Structure 1
C-alpha cells in the first residue's frame, strides 16, 4: 500500500515507525512535516474526532515549557499555532487509502493498513526517546 508519511527528519521514533511500515511491505512517500505548506483545512483533516490536546506534539519546546497549553487550547487557536510553528504538530501525519490520521498507535495502524503488529504490541512508538536532560531536537528544518 502507498502511504504518505509526514515526519520530522531525524526523529528516531519516526525512523522506527517507517521501518515497521516498510517491513510490512508498504511503500512510503516520506515528507518533511516542518516545511510542508499547510492550510488550516488540510491540517485539520488529519485530526478527525480526536480532542484538540491530542493534536499537539507533547515534546515540542513550547509545550514542554508551558508556553502552549494543549489542554486549554481551542481548535482554531491550535491550528493557527501549528501553522506558525509546525514543530507543535503531533507526528507522524499519515495518509493512506483515502484516509488521514495523526500519531502511530500499532493497533490502529494494524487495523488500518496492516502492520504485522504482534511484534510491537505494548511498544511505545510515539513518546520522544531523548533523555529529558539532553538538548531538545531542533524545531526548525
Structure 2
C-alpha cells in the first residue's frame, strides 16, 4: 500500500471523505494544509501536480474568484495560472496527492485506482454535500 502526501483544504468535507476512502483502501495518508503551503518557494513543484492536464483543469471551479467572474481558467496560459494560484491558493484544484515522485491533482477515482488501488466508494466524492455541486467545498 502507498503512503500518500495529501494536500487539502482543512475542513473540506470531500477531502475528509477522500482521505477516509484512501485509508479504507489500505493507504497511509499524510495530510497537509494546501492553503498554508508556501508554493512560491518552488512554483515548479506546484506545476508538477498538473502535468499532462489542460490549464483549465488545474482550477477549483468553486473558488470564490472564479464564481465571481474575476478569474476565467479557460483563458489562461500556464504561467498565468500558476501566478494566480500562488496569490490565491483557493484556486488550486484539490486534493493534490503525491506518492513517491508521482503527483496528481483532483480526486479521479479511476485514475487513483489504476495508480495505487482504491476500494469502491460509497458516494460520489466529487460532489460537495453542502451544495450538491461538483468540487465546490470552499470558503
Fold conserved (TM > 0.5)?
Answer: yes
Separation in structure 1 between the aligned mates of residue 79 and residue 129 of structure 2, nearest angstrom: 30
Q: Is the 8 Å Cα contact of residues 52 and 70 (structure 1) preserved in structure 2?
A: yes
Q: Is the 8 Å Cα contact of residues 21 and 118 (structure 2) preserved in structure 1?
A: yes
Separation in structure 2 between the aligned mates of residue 111 and residue 82 of structure 1, nearest angstrom: 28
Q: CA RMSD in A?
A: 1.6
Separation in structure 2 between the aligned mates of residue 63 and residue 127 of structure 1, nearest angstrom: 18
Superposed CA deviations along residues 13-64 of structure 1, whole A, max 9, x for unmatched, are: 1011000000011111100000001132010000011000000001100011
Structure 2 residue 3 is the aligned partner of structure 1 residue 2: yes
| Partner residue in 1 for 2:64 | 61
Instruction: State the number of aligned residues.
Output: 132
Separation in structure 2 between the aligned mates of residue 76 and residue 90 of structure 1, nearest angstrom: 16
Q: How does 1:32-71 map to 2 (within 5 A)?
A: 32-38=33-39, 39-71=42-74
Q: What's the TM-score once normalised by structure 2's chain length?
A: 0.89
Structure 2 residue 28 is the aligned partner of structure 1 residue 27: yes
SS in 2 for 1:130: coil
Superposed CA deviations along residues 41-95 of structure 1, whole A, max 9, x for unmatched, are: 0100000110000000011000111100000111011000000010100000000
Separation in structure 2 between the aligned mates of residue 72 and residue 112 of structure 1, nearest angstrom: 30
SS in 1 for 2:4: strand
Q: Which runs of 5+ in 1 are unaligned?
A: none
Q: Which runs of 5+ in 2 are unaligned?
A: none
| Partner residue in 2 for 1:131 | 131
Separation in structure 1 between the aligned mates of residue 69 and residue 19 of structure 2, nearest angstrom: 30
Separation in structure 2 between the aligned mates of residue 57 and residue 15 of structure 1, nearest angstrom: 17
| Partner residue in 1 for 2:111 | 108
